[in-house]
């Protein structure tokens, strides 16, 4: 097996620490039986679930409520060929509890899009994987 010191897998705590620093990630889900990816800003909750704030009538909410999705965020520097990527996989659900909705309205993510009304979507961090690349050398 070829050993590559420039690549390493990240454990769950380190992956979540890096994920918390990222301003934007990508929701990976199924739309009309096809793969779909949507960039969106987010935050992590105290239980390490990914929180999204969006419009209640968005296509995203209809597509992901109650299903398993993936959420990915990363940071890369092409000049140094270094960076990291973290993927969270878990069930997405719309937050319906009024007290939880109020808490997230105060402490949860803000939307970069103007919203008259907002819903919060929680993606459980059932599986968290991460990897880091440190200055890989090779052919350009």
Structural domain spans, the chain: 7-133
Q: Is the dihedral of CA 29, 31, 34, 36 positive or negative?
A: negative
Residue with tokens 């990914």: 50
Question: Encoding tokens for residue 41?
Answer: 């800003």
Residuewise pLDDT in 10s, the chain (140 residues): 455 667 899 999 999 999 999 999 999 999 989 999 999 999 999 999 999 999 888 899 999 999 999 999 999 999 998 999 999 999 999 999 999 989 998 887 877 777 788 899 999 999 999 999 987 555 44
Specify the pTM.
0.88
Beta-bridge mates of residue 51 = 43, 122
CA atoms within 13 A on the CB side of 13: 0
E strand segments, 48-136 = 50-54, 68-77, 82-94, 119-123, 127-133
Does 7-133 carry CATH code 2.30.110.10?
yes
At 52 the three-state DSSP class reads strand
Q: Which residues contact 116 (CB under 8 A, 6 or more apart)?
A: none
Residue with tokens 């991460």: 130
Structure confidence at residue 135 (pLDDT): 79
Q: Which residues are registered as beta bridge partners of 31?
A: 34
């Amino acid at each position: 097996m070829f050993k590559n010191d420039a690549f390493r897998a990240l454990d769950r705590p380190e992956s979540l620490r890096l994920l918390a620093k990222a301003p934007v990630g990508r929701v990976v889900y199924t739309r009309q039986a096809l793969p779909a990816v949507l960039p969106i800003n987010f935050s992590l909750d105290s239980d390490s679930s990914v929180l999204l704030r969006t419009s209640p009538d968005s296509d995203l909410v209809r597509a992901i409520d109650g299903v398993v999705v993936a959420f990915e965020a990363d940071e890369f520097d092409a000049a140094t060929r270094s960076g990291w990527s973290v993927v969270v996989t878990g069930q997405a659900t719309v937050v319906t509890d009024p007290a939880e909705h109020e808490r997230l309205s105060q402490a949860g993510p803000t939307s970069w899009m103007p919203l008259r009304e907002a819903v919060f979507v929680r993606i459980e961090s059932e599986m968290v994987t991460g990897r880091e690349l440190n200055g890989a050398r090779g052919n350009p």
